[in-house]
Amino acid sequence: MLIYLQMLDTPEERAKFEKLYYSHRRTMLHIAMKILKDHQLAEDAVQEAFLRLVKNFSKIGQVNCPRTRLFTVIIVRNISLTMLAERKKENVLERPEAMIPIEYDLEEDVLERIAYEEVLSAIRELPVLYRDVLYLQCVEEYKLTEISKLLGIEAETVKKRAQRGRKKLLEQLTKEHENDDA
């Protein structure tokens, strides 16, 4: 942690970062372990996440608030997923026969990726109230109870936000397709 503290200018920033570190490290490690299933890799992911956090420290308001918790979760999750993808890519490169499945349908794969990117883009355009919940539920595959704990809000509130967010998302995607057809 000392290396991160040296990257900050004031004693107040250092104290705030130290509080952030000790408040969120366990959760971040848990998330990384869930994805990577390797303690050393999970530790590396958390360290990389804290490095990114210290570089973007001005964007962090309160340390113990749902927004900061979500910010730390999203960062460590994305780093972990990137690390996992790199490991899988390395494994595929070691075994060329595993590169393309026998029953691989390129057209279907491309269409699925386009649809996924379209939905992801639409989620990013939603109001933050719905965007965070839907992102964690649809993209990160969290359960409503897990989102409730991560964001520090009631499970029923998460459920309502997810329902309303899906409705807005559907309206948005429908509207976009109507505009494409026109």
Query: What are 14-72's pLDDT values in tens digits?
Result: 888 889 899 999 999 998 998 899 999 999 999 999 988 888 777 788 888 877 888 88
For residues 128 and 95, membership in a common domain is answered with no
> Which residues form the domain of 78?
1-99
State the angle between helix axes of 39-55 and 66-94 in degrees (0 to 180), rounded to the nearest 10: 130
Note the pLDDT of residue 28.
92
Note the pLDDT of residue 174.
77
For 70, 92, 118, 147, 163, the CA distances from 125, given in Å and listed in that order, are: 17, 35, 11, 20, 16
Q: Is the pLDDT of residue 122 over 90?
A: no
For residues 6 and 20, membership in a common domain is answered with yes
Note the pLDDT of residue 138.
81
Question: Which one-letter amino acid corresponds to residue 99?
Answer: M
- Taking the alpha carbons of 115, 128, 133, 178 in that order, is the dihedral positive or negative? negative
Q: Which of 12, 92, 69, 81 has its CA nearest to residue 45?
A: 81
For residues 115 and 152, membership in a common domain is answered with yes
Least confident range from 8-17, 113-122, 136-145: namely 113-122
> How many separate domains does the chain show?
2
Q: For the chain, what is the mean pLDDT? A: 80
The residue that leads in pLDDT, 182 or 47, is: 47
Q: Which of 39, 123, 35 has its CA nearest to residue 82?
A: 35
The residue that leads in pLDDT, 90 or 4, is: 90
